Chains A and B, each alone.
Chain A
Amino acid sequence: MKTDKNSLQALIFTGLFAAIIYIGIWVLRIPVPAMVGRPFIHFGNTLTAVAILYLGYRNGMIAGIIGLGGFDLLNGYAATSWLTMLEVVVVATVLSLIFKGMNYQDSKKNIIILGIVAGVTKIFTTYCVSIVEALMVGTSLQVAYIGAFVSLPATVINSISTAICTPILYFALKDATRVIMKKAK
């Protein structure tokens, strides 16, 4: 599936992956206490990271943009959905560059590192997004910093879950795919 990113099958799977990401936010969520922001851990970010590693830079990024961004767009966060999409671009770029630096060797160690990178990048991008959101509604810069800072804990928890789950899912998925594609190729 990775070999030919333009094959119809690969594009369809990208669409289905986007749908899974959407469902990952919607159905698979764990409530966490938080002062502000969305007080639940969802698996959208994890699945996006997995999509990027699994489908490659372009298709993974598209799946993430559609899944995460589309969720926001359709579910009441339309005004800031473009920021979510930008976040995906950043995460996809960072992950893909590092993965490339690793020569696409998906050893256990590498994927764990990439999971952590995804989590950390996400903390950074979410912080920036919070600031932009605050500026969008017209706060002063200082207030934007503080606001973004206060919403960090929930993000950190989400990022930790991303770091933990990405490797688990990546390998499970890869094993299963290898078998299916062997059967179907």
Chain B
Amino acid sequence: MSIKFENVNYVYFPGTTMEKKGLDNVSFELLDNSFIALIGHTGSGKSTLMQHFNALLKPSSGTIDIAGYHITSQTGNKNLKKLRKEVGLVFQFPESQLFENTVLDDVKFGPKNFGMSDKEAEAKAKKWLEQVGVSTGVISKSPFELSGGQMRRVAIAGVMVNEPQILCLDEPGAGLDPRAREEMMQIFVNYQKAGHTVILVTHNMDDVAKYADDVLVMEHGKLIKHDKPQKVFENEEWLKKHYLDEPTSSLFASSLKGFRFKENPLTIKELVDGIKENVQGGV
């Protein structure tokens, strides 16, 4: 049950003067239970692509196979609920979707929409609030009373509570302090390890290097690369040409004169190992 895009095109405002290509002939296949990074600079089409994963946008042409659904331009809006349950989308600054009177009720919103009984929904909501690190003390407070970081967690719980097979996140760490970011990433890694697919939209190449199994690179609505991080960050020239940053570690490594690395080190750990080999290897 992998995710498969075939020649997907998407056009914003077709047939008007504002017509704009959002996706341009995008094809790829993603393996289940992997951690995928989706990168590309502003306006490259990452969010547009993301909204195709649960059919918020439907391709103008081409086909998508995801979570057992086959989506084309003809797919109707009926019966998409199950798809939305299986593919969870966390938008940028998701705290802006909170609306209920209490944290608990807000997290229950999803499960109840997907047909769960109140009691089940409550149990699930409590479980996931705990998982994302929201203390039980605040679950009957208004979500608007919480700090920014806590609101973010509640909002993410509001999607994870549906336990989607595929979880897509659009820059979940934006605006958070470093510790909160790190904790957040750990939650997603754990979710993936527990047997789900995680797709992360990010500008942070160190996160890509550290967590991703597979990387999609977008530019002007086109998929310009789909490969393992090792391969994506292999060619400095290519990265420069497409205005992509290198992970800090590999940047540092390439500035070390006289060093030889078996493989381009992408993370600090790889870098340290590489340096060790160099300086101790000669002994």
Binding site for B on A (CB under 8 A): 172, 175-176, 179-180, 182-183
Contact = CB atoms under 8 A, between A and B. Distances in A.
B93 interface: no
B101 interface: yes
13 contacts: A172-B99, A175-B101, A175-B142, A176-B99, A176-B142, A176-B144, A179-B142, A179-B144, A179-B145, A180-B144, A182-B145, A183-B144, A183-B145
Contacts of B142: 175-176, 179
Interface in B144-168: 144-145
Interface in B133-148: 142, 144-145
Interface string B97-140: 00101000000000000000000000000000000000000000
Contacts of B145: 179, 182-183
Interface hub of A175, A176, A180 (most chain B Cβ within 10 A): A176
Interface of B: 99, 101, 142, 144-145
A37 B142 CA distance: 42
B20 to A, nearest CB: 20
A173 to B, nearest CB: 10
Contacts of A180: 144
A185 B53 CA distance: 41
Contacts of B99: 172, 176
Contacts of B101: 175
Nearest to A176: B144
A179 B99 CA distance: 12
Nearest to A177: B144
B89 to A, nearest CB: 20
B150 to A, nearest CB: 12
The 9 A-B pairs of least Cβ separation, nearest first, read: A179-B144, A179-B142, A179-B145, A180-B144, A176-B144, A175-B101, A183-B145, A183-B144, A175-B142
Nearest to B98: A176
Contacts of A172: 99
Nearest to A175: B101
Nearest to B100: A172
A11 B10 CA distance: 41
Contacts of A176: 99, 142, 144
Nearest to A181: B144
A82 B101 CA distance: 39
A83 to B, nearest CB: 31
Interface hub of B99, B101, B144, B145 (most chain A Cβ within 10 A): B144
A132 to B, nearest CB: 35
B31 to A, nearest CB: 38
B13 to A, nearest CB: 15
